[in-house]
Amino acid sequence: VKIGKMINQNFKIGSMISYVPIYPYSCHPKDMMKAQIKNRLRYFFPDVQVRGYYPSYAKKMFEQKGYHIGWQDGDEEILREGV
């Protein structure tokens, strides 16, 4: 995106996702929460691609699972500029 905008500010650059929602099995809160969590996982990649940062729900999930993103100086800025 950044390079395309450098070439021509009028370029329209986008992406497309195939999103199939997950519906809860029932209206029971446990089923509703499970569907919400699964839908968030489906939104993760488009959220990062479109917004240029990791959403709070993803950061929380990484923390809970013990994952660590080894950011280096300037990485977050590069991600933000790329959208």
Q: Report the pLDDT value the prediction gives residue 53, as an integer from 0 to 100.
A: 93
Burial 25-43 (b: 16+ CB within 10 A, else e): eeeeeeeeeeeeeebbeee
Distance between first and last Cα of the chain = 6
pLDDT mean values, one per 10 residues, the chain (83 residues): 89 85 96 94 88 91 93 92 79
Residue 83 CA to residue 75 CA, distance in Å, equals 13
Q: Report the pLDDT value the prediction gives residue 15, as an integer from 0 to 100.
A: 81
Q: Report the pLDDT value the prediction gives residue 1, as an integer from 0 to 100.
A: 81
Q: Where are the domains of the chain?
A: 17-81
Helix (H, G, I), strand (E, B) or coil at 11: coil
